[in-house]
Structure 1
């Protein structure tokens, strides 16, 4: 969970459901699995926040144009995050894919650390707990579950690739 929250796209869906399955098998308790998931999430998020705080702004200003991130995007993102940052962090923690990367803009926007930590914890508890419980509840059907997760993961990855390509094409047309 630490790596996933530090912007390394390792699916928390697999990590926490497997932790729930391990709890089902008696290898650990369900509550300690959830606590470990939340702590991993927080520590990884703090690492990404720190990276955004220390180098994100300069990096985006220097290299953002290569990923179609203009100064106009930078300014509108800053205004948005200044106004809705806390709720954005909270809601983003509940969304697959987005949850992995929200810490970077929070750091870049210099969101107050205590606010960031509180909303990160509150936002990740339901996600982590639900995934762990799903793994626990489906423990006896684990082999069937892993087959479906593989399909889900593949479909999610394909959808993200399609969305990214359409974003690039749309921004390329707008920049012309």
Structure 2
């Protein structure tokens, strides 16, 4: 009996803990945007794009809710969010550009990553990968980390910035618009997106693996 009771309570406690954490995140987001308005939107999106866990699925729908109330402008929310994404992505890009490759070259052998693998990845990204910055900014999970390979490949910063801004602009406008349409129910969107984060991540990784495999096969044939 004790085991049975304990086993049935554990998932409930986990859900409560997750719910409490999300409530704290939402409270933080609400406080920042309520005080700083567009600057707050940019700041929070910069934090997320610098790979610090702060879901845009909370930031932008709440901003959309303030648009619904007439306190913010939808277009300015999108622009502020996109600017924040660019600033945060510069941080991740910098880590990839100035720290990523040497670190991987030094310690990559322990995880079976060779210099040849890095050369091939750089070549692939420079030839085919730049558009993935734009596409990646539209995908949950992937969008946060897509700047690292761009930095490692030393993608020209101005093109990285342009792709990041355009992809982020669409993402920010879309989520803020959904928050506008949801009105007082804006906070339901975060939970909806996170149900599909894992699935989207797996699908993207499978597609990336298939694309790399096809590209390597074509190189060998050439």
- Are 2:191 and 1:150 aligned? yes
Deviation at 1:76, TM superposition (A): 2.9
Which of 140, 144, 147 is the equivalent residue of 1:103?
A: 147
Judged with a 3 Å threshold, the aligned counterparts in structure 2 of structure 1 residues 117 and 158 are, in CA distance, closer, same or farther, namely: closer
Q: CA RMSD in A?
A: 2.5
1:51-90 equivalence runs, <5 A: 51-64=95-108, 68=111, 70-71=113-114, 72-90=116-134
Paired position in structure 1 for 2:81: 37
Judged with a 3 Å threshold, the aligned counterparts in structure 2 of structure 1 residues 128 and 62 are, in CA distance, closer, same or farther, namely: same
Judged with a 3 Å threshold, the aligned counterparts in structure 2 of structure 1 residues 81 and 146 are, in CA distance, closer, same or farther, namely: same
Contact 1:9 1:100 in 2 (8 A): no
Contact 1:85 1:111 in 2 (8 A): no
Judged with a 3 Å threshold, the aligned counterparts in structure 2 of structure 1 residues 62 and 131 are, in CA distance, closer, same or farther, namely: same
Deviation at 1:37, TM superposition (A): 0.4
Deviation at 1:157, TM superposition (A): 5.2
Paired position in structure 2 for 1:14: 58
Distance in 2, Cα, partners of 1:160 & 1:127? 15
1:56-101 deviations in Å (ceiling 9; x for gaps): 11122233456x4612542332121111132121111111111111
Deviation at 1:29, TM superposition (A): 2.0
User: Which one has more relative contact order, counting CA pairs under 8 Å at least 6 apart?
Assistant: 1
Judged with a 3 Å threshold, the aligned counterparts in structure 2 of structure 1 residues 100 and 65 are, in CA distance, closer, same or farther, namely: farther
Distance in 1, Cα, partners of 2:192 & 2:131? 32
The TM-score normalised by the length of structure 2 is: 0.63
1:133-163 deviations in Å (ceiling 9; x for gaps): 11011114x1xx534532542x2455589x5
